[in-house]
Amino acid sequence: MAVHAHPDDETITMGGTLALLGDRGVATSVVCCTDGKLATIVADDMPEETTRPRLAEIREAELKEACRILGVSEVNFLGFGDSGMAGEATNQMSGAFWTTPIDDAVRVLVGHMRRFRPHVVLTYDANGGYGHPDHIQTHRVALLATEASGSPLYPDEGDHWRISKLYYSAFPVSWARRISEFAKQAGMEPPFGMEDPDQLPFLTPDELVTTKVDARAAIPRFRAALRAHHSQIGEDWPQLTLPEEVVGEFAYEHYQLVISRVRVSLPETDVLTGIESETEG
Ligand SMILES: [Zn+2]
C-alpha cells in the first residue's frame, strides 16, 4: 500500500516499483490523501479559468489512468482538501488536510489498511520528501495508521491487521550527483536543480537508504503514467526529455526501511524481502 498526498506523487516517487510489483502478481493499493485542487496547472490546453473549478475531478481521473497504466490493483481517495504550498493562507482553510484533526485521517486510513491488509506500506519521510504540508501530514498519518492498524484502537474499522514493513521513499544524494554528471556530459542542464545536490532539500543521506529497486524494465510505463498526469506534468519533465542513459539512472527507486517485523538483510533490492517466507510459514 502506497500512501500519497496528491495525484502524481505515486508515479514520481515509485511508479516503477508499483509496476514491477504488479508484474509479479502482487496486489497493490494507492491511497491519495488530498484532492490536489490547488496545484499549478501546467498544461497549455487547460486554461486556468475553466480548469481550476474542475481540477479535483480532473486529477482524480488522471490518477486512475496512471494507476491503470502501472497495473495498480486499487486506488482510494481520502478526500481531504489540498493545503497548498508551505506558508500559504490555504494551509489554514477549512477542509485542508493540514488542519484536519489527525485522528480523523488516521481512522479512515486504518479502515483501508484493515480491509486491504497490506504487508508493506510505502510513504514519505518526516519532511514529506520536500516540505509540502500535505506530504508532512501524509507521513504522520501513514506512520500512525501503520501502528494503529495492528492495535486494538479503532475497533469500528475492522479486525486488527499487523503491517510487516514501513518504508519512506528516498532520493539519495549520490543518485542526484550521478544524474547531474550524466546530464552535464550530455550537454544538458541537470534536472530538478541537481547541479548542487548538497543544497537540495528533498535528498536523503546515502547512509539512511536501505533499498534500491531496479525499475528500468518499467521505464515505458513510468513515462506513460507521468503523461497521464497531463494537468501537472509537461513534456519538459526531465524523465520525458533526458537521454535514455540518464533516464536509466532515474529508474532506480530508493527507500528507507523504517519498521520491519520480518527478518531482512540490508541493503536490499526489493521491498518484499522477508514477506513471502513469513506468509508461507
Ligand atoms: Zn504532492
Q: What is the pLDDT of residues 164-212, one digit of tens each?
A: 999 999 999 999 888 888 878 878 878 777 777 777 878 999 999 999 9
As a whole number of angstroms, the distance between CA 71 and CA 223 comes to 14
CB 72 within 8 A of CB 29: yes
Q: Poorest-confidence range of 73-82, 174-183, 256-265?
A: 174-183
CB 216 within 8 A of CB 248: yes
CB 151 within 8 A of CB 103: no
Confidence band for 281, pLDDT divided at 50, 70 and 90: very low
Distance 162 CA to ligand 1 centre (A): 27
- The three three-digit cell numbers of residue 70, written as one number: 502501472
Domains in the chain: boundaries:
2-172+202-273
Distance 281 CA to ligand 1 centre (A): 38
Q: Poorest-confidence range of 3-7, 53-57, 267-271, 274-278?
A: 274-278
Would the pLDDT of 131 be above 90? no
Which pTM value belongs to this model?
0.95
Distance 82 CA to ligand 1 centre (A): 9
Residue corresponding to grid cell 498526498: 5
Would the pLDDT of 279 be above 70? no
As a whole number of angstroms, the distance between CA 262 and CA 278 comes to 7
As a whole number of angstroms, the distance between CA 4 and CA 136 comes to 10
Would the pLDDT of 148 be above 70? yes
Mean pLDDT (the chain) is 93
- Side chain identity at 49, as an amino acid letter? E
CB 16 within 8 A of CB 65: no
Distance 103 CA to ligand 1 centre (A): 21
Distance 250 CA to ligand 1 centre (A): 19
Would the pLDDT of 260 be above 90? yes
Maximum C-alpha span of the chain: 58
CB 82 within 8 A of CB 134: yes
Q: How many other CB atoms are found less than 10 A from the CB of residue 210?
A: 19
Query: What pLDDT is recorded for position 277?
Result: 57
The predicted model gives 129-141 an average pLDDT of 94
CATH code of the domain occupying 2-172+202-273: 3.40.50.10320
Confidence band for 214, pLDDT divided at 50, 70 and 90: very high
Distance 84 CA to ligand 1 centre (A): 10
Rounded to 5°, the CA angle 154-121-68 comes to 110
Residue 17 neighbours by CB under 8 Å, 6+ apart: 122, 213, 215, 253, 271
Distance 135 CA to ligand 1 centre (A): 6
Nearest CA to 7 among 25, 26, 30, 29?
A: 30
* pLDDT tens string 30-60: 999 999 999 999 999 999 999 999 999 999 9
Distance 64 CA to ligand 1 centre (A): 16
Higher pLDDT, 250 or 113: 113
Query: What pLDDT is recorded for position 44?
Result: 95
